[in-house]
Amino acid sequence: MTKRTQPKLATVKGTELINIQQVVKTFSNAAGEFTALRGIDLTLNRGEFVAIIGKSGSGKSTLLNMLTGIDHPTTGKVLVDGTDIYALSESKRSLWRGRNLGIVFQFFQLLPMLNLLENVMLPMDYVGMYDVDERPKRAMELLRMVGLEEQAQKLPRAVSTGQQQSAAIARALSTDAPIIVADEPTGNLDSRSANHIIDLFTELSERGKTIVMVTHDSTMTQRTSRTVVISDGVLVNETIAQALPLLSQPLMKELAQKARQVSYQAGETILKIKEPAQNFYLISKGNVDVVLHKKRKKEVFVSQLGVNDFFGEMELLRGGKTIACIRAADKPVELLEISREDFNWLMKKSPLTEKAISNTVQKRLEEKKQTDKRK
């Protein structure tokens, strides 16, 4: 068998790779109907390391199954690198999956009668990748990478749950697929092994692979390049989830409904100094400059804020007028605008968020004081 080169999907980091459009999934069984995904729109780019988080039962695994083509949406489309995967026949889709995806299932699904090494080699056999005599060597390398070199000849049931999980991860990497999809890959691992797996995923994403990882462990998301939150089959606004991570999911959802999306051109002023404060803002795209105006209109740059930062809180929490001018930096900016009234509602509903925002206010006042001194 000949060596296959890596599919072209792996190239051009940062461009759109996965496009989920209006996906609805309804399960029907004897007990009736249940809609697990209720209109999901999501675009993932090449080289992203994405965490999908949400409570148990929120639809994470169902969403992942829509991506892998293992289950099919009730309505909606899934495009991967332009291929409408549900327009493919079952057998073509299966081959497509083998070539393009490395999958770590929530319950591993190692074949019980094959040892770990053979399990890792299985996908290579399936898509006919690498010379036959090269496969064991490559599988062994992958097992070494996840710390299982010594267990290679053992059957799955002879090793621990965590080791089975690590073997499943090695298997997902075996065909060098451009997309790795993993359902709770660190769920059964101690924190050291879990960190090792995250290191591995980070490195792979830096080399251009796209990693989509479902987890209910929100501490994992500090290591990923992007976090998507799902709640009751609906995606939660990413800017809100990132900027205000201490909000409960229902509050995130409610806030998303209250917030308005606004945009500003490069260089455009968003908040004028000394005007009554009206809104709280979360940045979803671009950067803003914070500047002070000194005597004779001399401008002093204080800082720049970027995606998932917020501003306007100082004035709303302390009352009064805008103390700095905020304007879009050198590119257009997209913001979520939250009215004073809704901001106050939010602070009441989430004391933890209020505390976090107050801490930011303290830090920023300190920063402003330093800038004032410099004059």
Question: Could you list the residues that contact ligand ADP (CB under 6 A)?
Answer: 27, 29, 34, 36, 54, 56-62
Binding site partner of 99, from Mg ion, ligand ADP, none, Cβ cut-off 5-8 A by kind: none
Nearest distance from C-beta of residue 187 to Mg ion, angstroms:
9
Binding site partner of 219, from ligand ADP, Mg ion, none, Cβ cut-off 5-8 A by kind: none
Binding site partner of 89, from Mg ion, ligand ADP, none, Cβ cut-off 5-8 A by kind: none
Q: Is the Cβ–Cβ distance between 53 and 182 less than 8 Å?
A: no
Closest CA to 34 of 45, 26, 42: 26
Q: Is 166 in the site for Mg ion (CB under 5 A)?
A: no
Q: Is 350 in the site for Mg ion (CB under 5 A)?
A: no
* Closer residue to ligand ADP (CB): 59 or 98: 59
* Closer residue to Mg ion (CB): 60 or 209: 60
Nearest residue to Mg ion on Cβ basis: 61
Q: What is the DSSP string of 286-336?
A: S-EEEEEE-GGG-EEEEEEE-TT-EESHHHHHH-SB--SEEEE-SS-EEEE
Instruction: Output the CA–CA distances (angstroms, integers) from residue 286 to 39, 72, 302, 308, in the order listed.
Output: 27, 36, 17, 10
* Closer residue to ligand ADP (CB): 54 or 286: 54
Nearest distance from C-beta of residue 104 to ligand ADP, angstroms:
14
Nearest distance from C-beta of residue 61 to ligand ADP, angstroms:
3
d(C-alpha 270, C-alpha 288), whole Å: 9
Nearest distance from C-beta of residue 273 to ligand ADP, angstroms:
46
Q: How would you class 170 by CB atoms within 10 Å of its CB: exposed for 0-12, middle for 13-18, buried for 19 or more?
A: buried
Instruction: Find residue 138's DSSP bridge partners.
Output: none
* Closer residue to Mg ion (CB): 60 or 135: 60
Nearest distance from C-beta of residue 180 to ligand ADP, angstroms:
18
Binding site partner of 116, from Mg ion, ligand ADP, none, Cβ cut-off 5-8 A by kind: none
Q: How would you class 174 by CB atoms within 10 Å of its CB: exposed for 0-12, middle for 13-18, buried for 19 or more?
A: buried
Nearest distance from C-beta of residue 222 to ligand ADP, angstroms:
20
Binding site partner of 301, from ligand ADP, Mg ion, none, Cβ cut-off 5-8 A by kind: none
d(C-alpha 278, C-alpha 139), whole Å: 60
Which tokens sit at 73?
């949406």
d(C-alpha 356, C-alpha 210), whole Å: 32
* Closer residue to ligand ADP (CB): 221 or 371: 221
Which tokens sit at 10?
């792996």
Nearest distance from C-beta of residue 124 to Mg ion, angstroms:
27
d(C-alpha 115, C-alpha 143), whole Å: 12
Residues in region 30-69 near Mg ion by CB under 5 A = 60-61
Question: What 3-state DSSP class applies to 122?
Answer: helix
* Closer residue to Mg ion (CB): 168 or 325: 168
End-to-end Cα distance, the chain: 72
Binding site partner of 205, from Mg ion, ligand ADP, none, Cβ cut-off 5-8 A by kind: none
Half-sphere CA count of 216, side-chain side, radius 13 A: 12
Q: Is 174 in the site for Mg ion (CB under 5 A)?
A: no
* Closer residue to Mg ion (CB): 63 or 357: 63
Q: What is the DSSP string of 2-37?
A: PPPPPPGGG-STTSEEEEEEEEEEEEEETTEEEEEE
Binding site partner of 62, from ligand ADP, Mg ion, none, Cβ cut-off 5-8 A by kind: ligand ADP
Nearest distance from C-beta of residue 58 to Mg ion, angstroms:
9
* Closer residue to ligand ADP (CB): 232 or 337: 232
Total residue length of the chain: 375
* Closer residue to ligand ADP (CB): 59 or 73: 59
Closest CA to 146 of 127, 168, 131, 130: 168
Binding site partner of 27, from Mg ion, ligand ADP, none, Cβ cut-off 5-8 A by kind: ligand ADP
Nearest distance from C-beta of residue 250 to ligand ADP, angstroms:
16
What are the residues binding Mg ion (CB under 5 A)?
A: 60-61
